[in-house]
Amino acid sequence: MNSKKLDIEFQDAVKRVNAHSEPFPADTLLKLYAYYKKATNDYSRPSSKKAIINAFKTNALFQVENITEDEAKQIYIDLVNNYFLYRK
């Protein structure tokens, strides 16, 4: 997939997530968070008021540190598509 098409699909997936009104499962939410941060090259520190949430977010970011931004975009897209396809 070329870079422009990947960017468009990634932005569409982000819009789907942002428009979704029901809560996501915690594990899915952490994956979405980590892949989004990696895909957008955002290395700011987690800023939750709860230390445990920051710890989970930091751990999720460590798990994606060895993939490229394009790989993170594709995995994010796949995660979103699979979530909306298989959720009940």
Amino acid present at 3: S
Q: Does residue 23 lie within any of the structural domains?
A: no
Q: Does residue 58 lie within any of the structural domains?
A: yes
Counted domains in the chain = 1
Q: What is the mean pLDDT of residues 23-43?
A: 93
Q: Does residue 74 lie within any of the structural domains?
A: yes
Higher pLDDT, 2 or 31: 31
Q: Does residue 40 lie within any of the structural domains?
A: no
Residue 55, domain extent: 1-16+50-88
The residues, ordered by sequence, that sit 6+ positions from 56 with a Cβ below 8 Å of its Cβ are: 30
Q: How far, in Å, CA of 74 to CA of 45, rounded?
A: 23
Q: How far, in Å, CA of 56 to CA of 72, rounded?
A: 18
Q: Does residue 12 lie within any of the structural domains?
A: yes
Amino acid present at 81: N
Q: Does residue 76 lie within any of the structural domains?
A: yes
Higher pLDDT, 67 or 86: 67
Two tokens at 55?
Answer: 């710890």
Q: What is the mean pLDDT of residues 54-75?
A: 93
Q: What pLDDT, on the 0 to 100 scale, is given for residue 12?
A: 97
Residue 33 has pLDDT above 70, yes or no: yes
Q: Does residue 28 lie within any of the structural domains?
A: no
Residue 88 has pLDDT above 70, yes or no: no
Q: Does residue 79 lie within any of the structural domains?
A: yes
